[in-house]
Chain A
């Protein structure tokens, strides 16, 4: 099981205001450190038109990292693919793949914030279909000399991508949140599935659903890869770990989980500013795993046993994780 991670700095954090260019420096510096600590991948997320100047083009952020690292994978967690022309996205990825010697991994999500779609003149309601089609376009563009594609949303005739990516095709992951529907879609298409933070039991259900859909579609088990974001908060005591989680919730997650329509109910409706008692919000906060070193190792062992190919660990406590947890998995 691989361990990927990220760092702060690609936005101005309200609880810890910082100069953006300094944050960018820190992001690159922390990537070098993560590589030295033994992490396997390092990534940047994406949002647009944000008051905190959130990184809008994650492949550029990891391009800076590529210049000062040699082996860590350079990933997007996630790149909001419906907000790009698929060829534009493939060209960016191929450019970085050449510069980095084939280290690009695309975590690709569909996005959810209404104004982002409005800014890019694309319909939010077609985002799921666009994501799947665009992933197929990227696969074709980075694996064939030339290709044609006739989809509902994207059509290409005899296209060739220059430069040729080093990886043929470029590594792609479908970031489908925590919905069973997303898992089924990814499995049916044979795409690697990267879950959002979710408690273990729900993760297990999603993985089962994904593998079943993949098997029904005729994909071999070895082709079906699964990964998960897994925020862990480690303390000497449970109280200490929970205090860290609360700090993360207050300082970062409440804004991003309660606002913007991140949570989606069983009818597919986005929830804006739901109560903190809402079951979906509670499920999210419970997914931020609290424990001691020993219990965190146990929890991650469960993920390993579930067949996870990768877990994406948080930006905090990386040195502790590298020293006490990663050796248990090598």
Chain B
């Protein structure tokens, strides 16, 4: 099982100092073998990070191994091609360590279909060269006609190649969003807070994520339900990476969103959740735990989760 870290950035009053603390932890955790680092998009509190792709590209030069995942990406705070591009750039700077998780529609004030369409657009852009896209919320390029097929479509290849610098003022019907990611299948997740997204993601084989604020029992039910639908849809477990994010307090109390107790208790709680839900990636949402806690978790929980 992969084990990663994310952070409650909103607990810091000052971004400069708070982010430096996070950067130091990432560097340490990368050395300790944590598999992933997730920066959540936020813009409400002083130390929130509205552009995780910039933060993670910075981290790509501070780390060697850990996956660098954009978390809670919203569909309305950046233009659609920028979301495609930012992940590709991060993936090339980090040589294949980038990932992208979208926030649930309910947290963004948009209909679930908007999030689904963005995921379709992003993944189609990575998988094809010249393309166009006609959706309810995204149209790429802008002059794509109503008669174009729904979703992504690609041109018929005919005639001689015309280099871009010879296009003149013409606006082509199909464009290639570049660069492409370093790896062919960049991980994409979506938080499955709403039923419509849970069902759509399970049927499409888009990996689910459950964030730290959903109670553990509810999270387990939703991930189990996702698994059922994915199985019914014929989705293989090998194409899906189910992610569960929890707060952890070593030697502390367990509550509805937090795993507490001794390292052995936490280990058993995560194993239990894995058995119930099929999660393959656990993310510890850090909210002020000490560096010693990080070391204890790495040596007494993370390592033992592997087998």
B45 within 8 A of A: yes
> Which residue of B is nearest A11, CB measured?
B179
* Given contacts A114-B169, A120-B81, A99 and B54 within 8 Å (CB-CB): yes
**Which one, A35-43, A45-53, A191-199, A243-251, is touching chain B?**
A45-53
How many residue pairs, one in A and one in B, have C-beta atoms under 8 Å apart? Answer: 164
Q: Which of B62, B89, B182 contacts A67 (CB 8 A)?
A: B62
Measured CB to CB, the closest approach of chain A to B186, in angstroms, equals 14
Residues of B within 8 A of A122 (CB): 142
* Given contacts A98-B15, A115-B141, A119-B141, A164 and B46 within 8 Å (CB-CB): yes
* Given contacts A49-B176, A118-B141, A67 and B165 within 8 Å (CB-CB): no
Residues 34-59 of B, flagged 1 when their CB comes within 8 A of A and 0 if not, give 00000000111111111101110111
CB distance B86 to A60 under 8 Å?
A: yes
Alpha-carbon distance between A228 and B62 when the two chains are bound, in angstroms: 33
**Which one, A20-28, A147-155, A298-306, is touching chain B?**
A20-28
CB distance B85 to A162 under 8 Å?
A: no
* Given contacts A28-B61, A115-B141, A120-B79, A261 and B163 within 8 Å (CB-CB): no
Measured CB to CB, the closest approach of chain B to A290, in angstroms, equals 25
B242 within 8 A of A: no
A205 within 8 A of B: no
CB distance A162 to B48 under 8 Å?
A: yes
Residues of A within 8 A of B62 (CB): 67
Within 8 A of A (CB), among B201-233: none
Within 8 A of A (CB), among B4-23: 15-16, 19
CB distance A63 to B57 under 8 Å?
A: yes
CB distance B79 to A83 under 8 Å?
A: yes
* Given contacts A60-B89, A119-B140, A259 and B166 within 8 Å (CB-CB): yes
B78 within 8 A of A: yes
Residues of B within 8 A of A64 (CB): 57-58, 60-61, 93
Q: Which of B57, B171, B180 contacts A60 (CB 8 A)?
A: B57
B177 within 8 A of A: yes
Q: Which of A20, A48, A63, A256 contacts B85 (CB 8 A)?
A: A48
Measured CB to CB, the closest approach of chain A to B145, in angstroms, equals 13
Q: Which of B47, B86, B166 contacts A57 (CB 8 A)?
A: B86
B92 within 8 A of A: yes
How many A residues are at the interface, by size bracket? 35 or more
Query: Count of B residues near A, CB < 8 Å?
Result: 56
CB distance A60 to B169 under 8 Å?
A: no
CB distance A273 to B166 under 8 Å?
A: yes
B143 within 8 A of A: yes
Measured CB to CB, the closest approach of chain B to A279, in angstroms, equals 20
A239 within 8 A of B: no
A293 within 8 A of B: no
Residues 264-298 of A, flagged 1 when their CB comes within 8 A of B and 0 if not, give 00000010110000000000000000000000000
Measured CB to CB, the closest approach of chain B to A184, in angstroms, equals 26
Q: Which of A66, A95, A255 contacts B49 (CB 8 A)?
A: A95
* Given contacts A49-B176, A51-B164, A53-B178, A99 and B43 within 8 Å (CB-CB): no
**Which one, A85-93, A129-137, A307-315, is touching chain B?**
A85-93
Within 8 A of B (CB), among A3-29: 20-21, 24, 28
Name A residues whose Cβ lies closer than 8 Å to a Cβ of B.
20-21, 24, 28, 48-51, 53-57, 59-61, 63-64, 66-68, 83-85, 87-88, 91-92, 94-96, 98-99, 101, 114-115, 118-122, 161-164, 166, 255-256, 258-261, 270, 272-273
Q: Known contacts A57-B82, A118-B141; can you find 13 more A-B pairs with CB under 8 A?
A: A20-B179, A51-B178, A56-B81, A59-B54, A67-B62, A83-B79, A88-B78, A92-B54, A95-B54, A118-B171, A121-B142, A260-B164, A270-B169
